[in-house]
Amino acid sequence: MIRGLYTSTSGMIAQQKRMDVITNNLANATTTGFKQDELITSSFEDMMVSRTVNDAAEDGTAEIGVINTGIHADEVSTSFKSGILEETGKTTDFAVEGEGFFVVNTPAGERYTRAGEWTVSSAGNLVTQEGYEVQGSQGAIRVGDTSFTVGRDGTVNTATGTDKIRLVTFNDLKGLRKEGNSLYTATGTATATEGGGQIRQKYLESSNVDLSKQVVDMIEVSRSYEINQRMIRMQDEKLGKSVNDVGKI
């Protein structure tokens, strides 16, 4: 029964972590360029339960069967499915049509994003909502003001010259790790390659969160959590009877 408590507890912990992921997805359902996450779980290894036989006729083990020791939360996986492109009419709004990530310069180094809701800084550079400079072929993209245009290939045309917005793709998207809700850093086998899809000015990419699925998953998680909770209560009652009632005999 003690193992049963551990099994139910591991189930509750996994469902709690899954609920945290779902809640974050729902909270960012309207966040530009947000990609929904999913918790990947797996069961712990099954163990063979054996009965040891020690008598004059036989000395060995007799197999009874297998028992599972619970569930384990492995990692959070991000879905990079594209969101819907929505026209805004704003010059400093951008979206990637197809594959690719914008490159921004942060205090921690280059980071990657699909969120193109930008502004023009006091220095005349194109920056993200957090103030990070958007990177072009010549470094920070200087536009001066909002009277500039950007072609589908990323070419930036201003009154003082031209530049090109950098887009990069990755050979292994599983190697991207989130920093906040819109930035990514490359780890492991994720190698950046210059190039990508087309850039759409005056458009933004919406979140790819599937609201109906998230709500269904939330209900499922709540019920699974309650079932594990009841299982712990039942096992606790059995342990109590074993100690208090059987122990008196």
Question: Any idea what DSSP says for residue 99?
Answer: S
Please spell the DSSP secondary structure of 97-166, one letter per residue.
ESS-EEEEEETTEEEEES-EE-EE-TTSBEE-TTSPEEEETTEE-B-SSS--EE-TT-EEEETTEEEEB-
Shared domain for 196 and 240, answered yes or no, is no
Is the predicted pLDDT of residue 150 greater than 50, yes or no?
Answer: yes
Shared domain for 195 and 215, answered yes or no, is no
| Bridge partners (DSSP) listed for residue 62 | 51
Is the predicted pLDDT of residue 70 greater than 90, yes or no?
Answer: no
Is the predicted pLDDT of residue 86 greater than 70, yes or no?
Answer: yes
Shared domain for 73 and 117, answered yes or no, is no
- CA gap 205, 31 in Å, rounded: 9
Shared domain for 89 and 201, answered yes or no, is yes
Q: Show Cβ contacts of residue 118 under 8 Å, excluding neighbours closer than 6 positions.
A: 92, 93, 94, 126, 127, 128, 129, 134
pLDDT recorded at residue 56: 43
Q: Which of 127, 156, 158 is nearest to 140 (CA)?
A: 127
pLDDT recorded at residue 202: 97
* Domain of 63, in residue numbers: 2-79+210-248
Task: Supply φ then ψ for residue 33, to 5 degrees.
Answer: 75, 5
Mean model confidence pLDDT for the chain: 87
10-40 in b/e form (b: 16+ CB < 10 A) is bbbbbbeebbebbebbbebeebbbbbbbbbe
Most confident of 2-11, 40-49, 196-205: 196-205
- CA gap 218, 204 in Å, rounded: 28
Shared domain for 42 and 121, answered yes or no, is no
Shared domain for 200 and 91, answered yes or no, is yes
Three-state SS for 182? Answer: coil
Shared domain for 96 and 179, answered yes or no, is yes
Confidence of residue 62 (pLDDT cuts 50, 70, 90): low
Element (H, E) at 21: helix 2-27
What's the total number of domains in the chain? 2
Cβ pair 182, 175 in contact under 8 A: no
Shared domain for 130 and 175, answered yes or no, is yes
Global pTM value: 0.80
Shared domain for 115 and 135, answered yes or no, is yes
pLDDT recorded at residue 240: 76
Shared domain for 96 and 116, answered yes or no, is yes
Q: Show Cβ contacts of residue 55 under 8 Å, excluding neighbours closer than 6 positions.
A: none
Confidence of residue 136 (pLDDT cuts 50, 70, 90): very high
Is the predicted pLDDT of residue 81 greater than 70, yes or no?
Answer: yes
Of 56-60, 84-88, 161-165, 191-195, the range with the lowest mean pLDDT is 56-60
- CA gap 239, 135 in Å, rounded: 63
Shared domain for 17 and 117, answered yes or no, is no
Shared domain for 27 and 63, answered yes or no, is yes
